[in-house]
């Protein structure tokens, strides 16, 4: 349940409405506080001060009307320009990155402060009376301060928006999200070990029946609450084999998990409740996100690279940058390993068996779409060979080294079939031989 609430809260925080709504409520409370101080303690205190503190009723209404009108006008302009910037970014970088731009705090704060300033000025305008003693001068001064701060913030917000729609910035943020998703995937794996996904579940040899749990509604698996699943399995004395992986698309009626109850004499109603609890630990959505799914980040980086290599853009350096940042994710796996799929309880009893992750699959997911999109480009091919060579040198096991070397062979054989000029073929042979000898380095331009 907490995982579901966290996902809903995260979705709300990343929307365009929640933060502006909070700031609007803050404007209401701020107006109530300043108006109370004005009426209770200040009164005609500011009449002897120079303008704008000694402003009269007529001037106050004109000033507040100007502030309210300008703030709501600029707010609508900011919203329009934000949509235009997002449209341009979607066309140049990728439509699936729009969600990441909605998460931009500076855009949300900009919309929020202008809306809050408008509400504050409107409330202060409605509270301004016809007599000098009925003019809330502290509230008016606060409205002026908010207006100035709004326009100062606007300069920073446009600077941040212009920076965020740059493709290099988008790639760097995706790379950071990739490493964060990998870190979350490896979290709380202290009592886990690598096991065969097809092993016989404990208790099955004694004739204990295996219960199968099926998907009740389809969608992408965006999160699996491993800690809650392990706690439930230990408490109910269950062994669970989870069949679905993060990012996989499940059809209604597809097998989610298999469970074996090691306790004797459990009634059917209790088992049905456990099935519902297990379903609640596996969270589905109509679309993928990068909350816990590192493969989705890889897909987005691959999409940017493939779009950059399309004939309409032909942006080789964007594709090269994607290769560099994808390598950061692969290097993280080389350093920390993939998550182990066999989870044990505090007593050492195997409780959860997840579908395993394989290093080969991760390497192919990282580079295959880029390889297909850029095989006609010698520059991208040589960059791939160089980065694969360096990753091979960072490998911690023979299996990782062999996997990367196999992919080097794949890149080489694909490029050899496509390159047509003798000069490119000679450079390819040189790069390939250097990669095999672990002494080839791409020369940056």
Tens-level pLDDT at each residue, the chain (445 residues): 555 566 566 666 667 778 888 999 999 999 999 988 888 777 666 666 656 666 778 888 898 999 999 999 888 888 887 777 777 777 767 766 766 767 778 888 888 899 999 999 999 998 887 777 777 888 888 999 999 999 899 888 888 877 777 888 888 888 888 888 888 888 766 667 878 777 676 655 555 677 888 888 888 998 888 888 888 888 888 888 898 888 889 888 888 888 888 777 666 677 778 888 888 888 888 888 777 788 888 888 988 898 888 887 788 888 999 999 999 999 999 998 888 888 888 888 888 888 888 898 889 989 988 988 887 888 888 889 889 988 988 888 898 999 999 999 999 888 888 888 888 888 888 888 877 776 555 455 4
Domain residue limits, the chain: 2-165, 167-358, 375-445
Q: Decide if 119 contacts 24 (C-beta within 8 A).
A: yes
Long-range contacts of 186-193 (CB under 8 A, 24+ apart): 186/336, 186/337, 186/339, 188/226, 188/227, 189/339, 189/340, 189/343, 191/343, 191/344, 191/345, 191/346, 192/339, 192/340, 192/341, 192/342, 192/343, 192/344, 193/340, 193/342, 193/344
User: What pLDDT shows up at residue 341?
Assistant: 85
User: What pLDDT shows up at residue 166?
Assistant: 80
CA neighbours closer than 13 Å in the CB half-sphere of residue 407: 29
User: What pLDDT shows up at residue 445?
Assistant: 45
CATH top-level class of 167-358: alpha beta
């Amino acid at each position: 349940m907490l995982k579901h609430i966290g996902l809903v809260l995260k979705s709300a925080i990343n929307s365009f409405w929640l933060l502006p709504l909070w700031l609007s409520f803050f404007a209401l409370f701020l107006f109530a506080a300043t108006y109370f101080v004005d009426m209770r303690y200040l009164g005609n205190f500011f009449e002897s001060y120079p303008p704008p503190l000694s402003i009269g009723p007529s001037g106050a209404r004109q000033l507040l009307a100007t502030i309210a009108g300008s703030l709501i006008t600029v707010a609508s302009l900011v919203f329009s320009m934000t949509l235009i910037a997002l449209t341009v970014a979607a066309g140049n970088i990728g439509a699936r990155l729009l969600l990441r731009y909605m998460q931009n705090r500076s855009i949300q704060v900009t919309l929020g402060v202008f809306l809050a300033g408008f509400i504050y000025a409107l409330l202060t305008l409605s509270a301004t009376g016809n007599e000098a003693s009925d003019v809330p001068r502290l509230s008016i001064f606060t409205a002026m301060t908010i207006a100035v701060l709004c326009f100062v913030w606007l300069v920073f917000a446009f600077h941040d928006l212009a920076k965020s729609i740059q493709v290099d910035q988008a790639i760097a943020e995706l790379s950071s999200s990739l490493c964060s998703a990998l870190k979350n995937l490896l979290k709380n794996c202290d009592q886990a070990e690598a096991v065969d996904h097809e092993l016989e579940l404990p208790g099955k040899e004694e004739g204990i029946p295996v219960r199968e749990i099926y998907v009740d509604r389809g969608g992408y698996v965006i999160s699996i609450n491993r800690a809650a699943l392990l706690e439930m399995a230990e408490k109910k004395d269950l062994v669970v084999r989870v069949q679905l992986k993060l990012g996989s698309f499940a059809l209604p009626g597809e097998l989610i998990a298999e469970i074996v109850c090691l306790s004797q004499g459990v009634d059917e109603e209790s088992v049905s409740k456990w099935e519902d609890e297990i379903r609640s630990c596996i969270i589905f959505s109509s679309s993928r996100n990068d909350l816990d799914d590192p493969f989705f980040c890889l897909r987005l980086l691959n999409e940017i690279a493939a779009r950059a290599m399309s004939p309409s853009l032909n942006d080789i350096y964007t594709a090269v940058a994607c290769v560099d940042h994808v390598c950061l994710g692969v290097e993280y796996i080389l350093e920390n390993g993939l998550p182990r799929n066999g989870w044990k309880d505090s007593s050492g009893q195997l409780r959860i068996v997840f579908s395993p992750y394989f290093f080969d699959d991760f390497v192919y997911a990282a580079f295959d779409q880029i390889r297909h999109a850029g095989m006609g480009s010698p520059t991208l091919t040589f960059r791939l060979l160089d980065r694969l060579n360096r990753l091979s040198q960072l490998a911690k096991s023979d299996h990782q080294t062999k996997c990367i070397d196999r992919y080097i062979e794949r890149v080489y054989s694909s490029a050899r079939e496509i390159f047509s000029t003798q000069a490119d073929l000679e450079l390819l042979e040189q790069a390939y031989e250097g990669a095999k000898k672990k002494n080839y380095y791409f020369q940056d331009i």
